[in-house]
Amino acid sequence: MTEAAVSFRGRWGPFVQERFRPLPHLVLLGLFFAGNRGIGTEDLGRDVLCFAVLLLAFFRLRIQDDLKDLASDRALYPERPLPRGLIPASEAWAVSSAIAGLEVLVVLALGRAALVWWLVWFGFSLLMMREFFVGKWLEACPELYAVVHTPFAMFAGWFLAGGPVAPAVWRFGLANWAAFCVFEFSRKTYGRDEEPKGGVSYSKRWRPGGAVLLSVTALAGMYLAAAWAFGNWRLTAFVLPLAAAGRAYANEPTSKQARMFRVCALVSVLVMYGLAAWQRR
């Protein structure tokens, strides 16, 4: 292995471990894939290619997001790979572009319909990168910022479905959108003794009760959309555990209760994708 290759691995290895940890992302994206595409399909080769594109796209989005936030991260999170100078911004741009090129090559093997949906998905990611050209306005309202960025997951699901989007597929796309709102709202909900000094905190903006309401509302929307897609309204009962965890946290907003709430939100989303995969079997 050349010295340049060793140096490249020495820079990007820590980036992956810190900003795109393999195991959690493989689990999350694996369930996302299964929930949107199903398991045990007849075309294993196509499934592998679709999952490869999904993984590449989310990794590219991670790089793009870190590039987009580089200026603010230098002040708020100087320990991250790009702000601390581990990877030059020019190299991050080059790697992101190379990943996009690799995505195109894989998508071309999937056919015209997949290419069309990938282009829509990719185009949306570019708009995200530019913050829809109203970044300052969106930053003043983090809730709206989250809601307008998370349709990335909806387009990802439609890409995985392939071909024309049937009613059940676009309905489940709404579940994907809401699911990533749950991720965003819950992961920035903190206990009073762990509130960050900078950055977005929904518990600081809305107090614990308001932050819980944001996450539970998004989760309810997610399960309602999934129930609508599959015609199984019993799925909505899975909102109750997060509501219970949220009540406990709102009554006692400690770091322990906040962590339990965040874990419950994550599990609630993963359960939805597991149930969706089961429905598609």
Q: What confidence tens digit (pLDDT) does each residue in 168-180 have? A: 999 999 999 999 9
Asked if the model's pLDDT at residue 1 lies above 60, the reply is: no
Asked if the model's pLDDT at residue 3 lies above 60, the reply is: no
Q: Quick one: average pLDDT of 182-198?
A: 95
pLDDT of residue 12: 98
pLDDT of residue 281: 77
pLDDT of residue 199: 86
**Cα first-last separation, the chain:** 44
Asked if the model's pLDDT at residue 215 lies above 90, the reply is: yes
CA 61 to chain centre: 9
Asked if the model's pLDDT at residue 157 lies above 80, the reply is: yes
Q: Is the dihedral of CA 35, 36, 41, 46 positive or negative?
A: negative
CA 122 to chain centre: 15
Per-domain residue ranges of the chain? 8-111+125-131, 166-281
Asked if the model's pLDDT at residue 70 lies above 70, the reply is: yes
Per-residue pLDDT band at 243 (split at 50, 70, 90): very high
Q: Quick one: average pLDDT of 93-118?
A: 96
pLDDT of residue 127: 97
pLDDT of residue 280: 84
- 252 against 165, higher pLDDT: 252
Asked if the model's pLDDT at residue 38 lies above 90, the reply is: no
The single-letter code of the amino acid at 241 is P
- Cα dihedral: 255, 239, 57, 171 (round 10): -160
- What average pLDDT is seen over the chain? 95
Asked if the model's pLDDT at residue 61 lies above 60, the reply is: yes
Distance CA 179, CA 250 (A): 21
pLDDT of residue 273: 98
Q: Is the pTM of this model over 0.75?
A: yes
pLDDT of residue 4: 59
pLDDT of residue 40: 60
pLDDT of residue 41: 63
Query: Cα–Cα distances in Å, from 223 out to 24, 109, 231, 265?
Result: 22, 34, 11, 12
Distance CA 44, CA 24 (A): 23
Per-residue pLDDT band at 5 (split at 50, 70, 90): low
Q: What tokens appear for 152 in the block?
A: 């990335």
pLDDT of residue 2: 59
pLDDT of residue 141: 96
Distance CA 229, CA 175 (A): 9
Contact, 266 vs 183, CB < 8 A? yes
Percentage of the chain surpassing pLDDT 70?
96
Q: Is 189 left (phi over 0), alpha (psi -120 to 50) or beta?
A: beta
